[in-house]
Amino acid sequence: MKLLQLLPIGNFDGGLLRELAPLMANLFRIPTEVLAVRLDPEFAYHGERQQFHSSEILQAMQRYVEPDSWRVLGLTSVDLYIPILTFVFGEAQIGGPCGVVSIHRLRQEFYGLPPDLDLLRQRLAKEAVHEVGHTLDLTHCEDYQCAMAPSHAVEWIDLKESALCEACQARIFVG
Ligand SMILES: [Zn+2]
Ligand SMILES: [Zn+2]
């Protein structure tokens, strides 16, 4: 039986990880486990930007992919970027197997607002579904409520659901 595996990258809140697992299992109809290992992201840090290059993290994640891995999703609290953008909430390998999500800019504190754990959980679930969706070959969706809708700011994330629209679901649950 293949598993969706959640990989903590750096220091990541264990409670958030454990709460995310059943949500993902339910949505993708696949057993989900939290890996006992942890990836140190320091190698991907770029001092000139004071951020972590998400593509380098995805590359390093390949070594955690095992025969029983369905997909491996990395979860981190460090600030991610790719060179052409100021930041990314996450990145994924189209078609799999790895994706990564950061909660750095999903926290209300990042915007100078009081912490809101419930909102953080919701945003994390949406972005986690989004990146796993990309590993399943899903592209961005025009339905703004679908988890595969693009989001370049948290306000866009807050508009969408953590679920996939019917069209996106039909694409991944074929046969
Ligand atoms: Zn995307
Ligand atoms: Zn959709």
- Residue range 103-155, pLDDT digits in tens: 999 999 999 999 999 999 999 999 999 999 999 999 999 999 999 999 989 99
Measured in Å, residue 143 CA sits from the centre of ligand 2 at 6
For residue 32, give the H/E element and its range: strand 32-34
Q: Kindly report the CA angle at 50 between 44 and 53, in degrees rounded to 5?
A: 30
CATH number at residue 8: 3.40.390.10
Measured in Å, residue 171 CA sits from the centre of ligand 2 at 9
Residue 86 lies in a domain: yes
Annotation says 131 is catalytic: yes
Q: What is the per-residue pLDDT across 68-114, written as a single tens digit (0 to 9) for each?
A: 999 999 999 999 999 999 999 999 999 889 999 999 999 999 999 99
Q: Find the ligand nearest to 90 CA.
A: 1
Q: Considering the candidates 131, 142, 161, 166, report the single residue annotated as catalytic.
A: 131
Locate 66 and state its tokens.
């095992």
Measured in Å, residue 60 CA sits from the centre of ligand 1 at 20
**Counted domains in the chain:** 1
Whole-angstrom distance, CA of residue 152 vs CA of residue 14 = 26
Q: Which residues are 33's β-sheet partners? A: 5
pTM of this structure: 0.96
Residue 67 lies in a domain: yes
Q: Could you list the residue range(s) of the whole structural domain that residue 22 is in?
A: 3-140
Residue 147 lies in a domain: no
Residue 173 lies in a domain: no
Length of the chain counted residue by residue: 175
Q: Specify whether the CB–CB gap between 7 and 61 falls below 8 A.
A: yes
